[in-house]
Amino acid sequence: MNTALIVIDLQLGFAESSWGATNPGTRCRENCLALIGAFHASGRPVVIVRHDSTKLGSPLGPTHPGNALDPGVHPDEACLLVTKTVNSAFCGTPDLDTWLRDQRITTIVVCGIQTNMCVETTARMGGNLGYEVIVPIDATRTFDLTGPTIAGTTWSLTADELLRACAVSLHGGGFATVTTTADVLDRLSSGERPPVWTTGHTASTDVPVETHWETYVSMLSGDLVLPGGDRFEPEGPLAVGTRIAVTPAVQETISSEITVFDAPHLCTDRTRFGGVVLDFTHTFERDGAGTRIVHLLKITGDGGAEIGPQISADFPDQMEQLIRAAKRRSTAASAD
């Protein structure tokens, strides 16, 4: 019962022609409504998200008729209505992350409009926050989009090209599992879903993000070994796809692979063994002149509840060691 459906911006305003061409033959609406019905029937929570645009003249503006939700969506039957003015549902009101954690939700299924805008942003942020994210891609849709002009050539993608690109980016980048509505409905009816166990640790310091990132990269590169910490030996330059030999202080060497690398803010590495998948996510967020550090561990597969506490027991100590190393680096840089 720890899975919630997040329905993004299924609003009347997206029917207006000003958006341009959408995905031919899309069944986004029908699939979203099917998911809502299935989640209600299974007793799982449904969250409805509405975009209240602040852009002048937007068909999604609060005073525009297009701001209204699709008539098939009934917010009074949902567990939560989130309103937002930016892309991510995690930046709306009330706070979605707080509500999900209060409900002990660990998995979110994200659907709605637009695939490469609010759906993708919410899915990526959900992944960064440690949730298991599932995106039934045929329960989303978008519109043709024109991008920059580079060397005299204007780049553009059709709605279908954008949808495919988004699916590849989310799934291949490790942010979400991209699948179909039919697959999600099958899982709901059968109750089939791999167990997920998550935990994390957070701290704030007055050291800048860039210094923390440099210290963290130094550790991943094998140049820095924290007291009592793991030793890292990457097979090449740090990037998505790079494999790293990780040798814990008192265990045998294991192999990990970087699945997300977004300097200077985010890195996720994935380890597989014994039918279990471990995703370690390290986030460095600006906090004034300093940094807020978040270390998350997500274990997918049987046994997470048993091995998770053992693996994460040293998170507070290792984060403190990382902070100390970053402070030494900052002090040395100031002295120079």
The CATH number for 115's domain is 3.40.50.850
pLDDT digits (tens, 9 = 90+) for 18-34: 999 999 999 999 999 99
- Outline where the chain has alpha helix (H): 28-42, 96-102, 120-128, 159-172, 181-190, 209-220, 304-312, 315-335
Q: Tell me how far apart the alpha carbons of residues 105 and 36 are, in angstroms, rounded to a whole number.
A: 17
Predicted local confidence at residue 259, as pLDDT: 87
Predicted local confidence at residue 18, as pLDDT: 93
Tell which wins on pLDDT, 77 or 324: 324
Contacts of 275 (CB under 8 A, 6+ apart): 301, 302
235 and 108 together in one domain = no
Its pTM surpasses 0.85: no
Predicted local confidence at residue 223, as pLDDT: 95
- Name the pLDDT band for 1 (thresholds 50, 70, 90): low
Domain that residue 228 falls in: 196-335
Average pLDDT, the chain: 91
138 and 37 together in one domain = yes
Q: What is the mean pLDDT of residues 297-325?
A: 87
Indicate the residue among 171, 190, 209 that finishes a domain.
Answer: 190
Indicate the residue among 190, 219, 244 that finishes a domain.
Answer: 190
- Name the pLDDT band for 275 (thresholds 50, 70, 90): low
CATH at 210: 3.30.530.20
Choice among 59-63, 147-151, 274-278 with the minimum mean pLDDT? 274-278
Query: Cis ω on the peptide bond leading into residue 227 (within 30° of 0)?
Result: no
Please state the domain count of the chain: 2
Tell which wins on pLDDT, 28 or 77: 28
Q: Tell me how far apart the alpha carbons of residues 230 and 245 are, in angstroms, rounded to a whole number.
A: 10
Sign of CA dihedral 148, 153, 154, 155: negative
Q: What is the mean pLDDT of residues 199-223?
A: 93
3-state SS string for 219-230: HHCCCCCCCCCC
202 and 284 together in one domain = yes
Indicate the residue among 169, 190, 211 that finishes a domain.
Answer: 190
Two structure tokens written together for 328:
């030494």
- Name the pLDDT band for 194 (thresholds 50, 70, 90): low
35 and 182 together in one domain = yes
Q: Is the pLDDT of residue 277 over 70?
A: yes
pLDDT digits (tens, 9 = 90+) for 121-165: 999 999 999 999 999 999 999 999 999 999 999 999 999 999 999
Predicted local confidence at residue 251, as pLDDT: 77
55 and 182 together in one domain = yes
Tell which wins on pLDDT, 20 or 249: 20
176 and 325 together in one domain = no
174 and 208 together in one domain = no
140 and 204 together in one domain = no
213 and 274 together in one domain = yes
172 and 203 together in one domain = no
Q: Is the pLDDT of residue 61 over 80?
A: yes
Q: Tell me how far apart the alpha carbons of residues 92 and 51 are, in angstroms, rounded to a whole number.
A: 9
Question: Percent of the chain, pLDDT > 70?
Answer: 97
232 and 148 together in one domain = no
Q: Is the pLDDT of residue 270 over 60?
A: yes
207 and 167 together in one domain = no
- Name the pLDDT band for 43 (thresholds 50, 70, 90): confident
